[in-house]
Structure 1
Amino acid sequence: MNDRDFINDILTTEKHMTDAYSTALNEASHQDLYQDLSAIAKETQDCQRDLFNVMFQKGWYSFDQAQPQALQQAYQKFSGYKQQLPNGGNVQ
């Protein structure tokens, strides 16, 4: 395994762990347990972000630049969904 494959594998693992911690937080029935899980989840999320940044800086994780027209279309699409929510998506 080269460095890119190794970091990508760790990044994938961290992403799965953040998903698992999210579920655990939703189901924690005791406040102290929730607080401990929350701290661990934050550490895991921060680690995942650091790994992502390393890969991005090395050019191992890249994105195509979105075109303004595509962004506008996505905005309009999801704005329409928002209007379908109760109270137009506004939280009271």
Structure 2
Amino acid sequence: MNQQKVQNPETQVPKTPEMNDRDFLNDMLATEKYMTQSYSIALNEASNQTFYQDLSAIFNETQNMQRTLYNLMFKNGWYSIDKADQNQIQQTRQQFSAYTNQLPVH
């Protein structure tokens, strides 16, 4: 398996017991991720249309902020992703293709 990372050069921050910029952004990103998950559940449970629309707007703002924080962390080299090799991609594609073959045809 190919373990190459996609990452920008890391912006250095002080390594002290106090929280630094990376720590704050990481905490904010984790909070936004948690909030989007919670709003998603609330959207699934909302029975009132007006409430649903309000929650949906808040969810979208929260999701956009999560993405902004992710992009900022990635830009500073504090977030990396693994490159998938072609075999992984093909294997996953075949797996999900098999799932779609099990779905009823309309």
What TM-score, normalized to structure 1? 0.89
> Using the alignment, how far apart are the partners of 2:42 and 2:82 within structure 1?
34
Partner residue in 1 for 2:69: 51
Higher helix share: 1
> Using the alignment, how far apart are the partners of 1:16 and 1:64 within structure 2?
23
Partner residue in 2 for 1:78: 96
Instruction: Give structure 2 stretches of 5+ with no counterpart.
Output: 1-18
> Using the alignment, how far apart are the partners of 1:44 and 1:80 within structure 2?
34
CA displacement 1:5-50 (0-9 Å, x = unmatched): 1101110000010011111111111111111111101000000000
Partner residue in 2 for 1:38: 56
Cα RMSD for the two superposed structures: 1.0
> Using the alignment, how far apart are the partners of 1:22 and 1:84 within structure 2?
27
Instruction: Give structure 1 stretches of 5+ with no counterpart.
Output: none
What TM-score, normalized to structure 2? 0.78
The yes-or-no answer on 1:6 pairing with 2:24 is: yes
- Cα deviation for residue 86 of structure 1 reads 2.1
> Using the alignment, how far apart are the partners of 1:19 and 1:64 within structure 2?
23
- Structure 1 stretches of 4+ moved >6 Å: none
